[in-house]
Amino acid sequence: MGFVVVVSAPVILLILVLALAFYLLGRASGRRESPTSPQFFGPPVPPTQEKSAEV
């Protein structure tokens, strides 16, 4: 039973460190990309139609 604890504790710590590293790298790259591409929350606005003589 002690062998399982000795082996699994470093593996869990390694996974936590890797998860934190990927989180920080992803957040940094997301913040770097955010000013260049705006978010779109809906369908695009249709183009404006000029008023013709149909009125």
Q: Domains in the chain: how many in total?
A: 1
22 within a domain of the structure (yes/no): yes
pLDDT of residue 1: 63
What is the phi/psi pair of residue 52, to 5°? -105, -165
**pLDDT by residue (tens digit) across 1-55?**
666 667 788 899 999 999 999 999 999 998 887 776 666 778 878 888 877 655 5
5 within a domain of the structure (yes/no): yes
Determine the structural domain holding residue 1 and report its residue range. Answer: 1-29
For residues 22 and 5, give the distance between their C-alpha atoms in angstroms, rounded to a whole number: 26
pLDDT of residue 47: 86
pLDDT of residue 43: 82
Global pTM reads 0.54
42 within a domain of the structure (yes/no): no
Let me know the angle formed at the C-alpha of 14 by 11 and 20, rounded to the nearest 5 degrees.
Answer: 145
pLDDT of residue 36: 67
User: CB within 8 A of 41, min separation 6: which ones?
Assistant: none
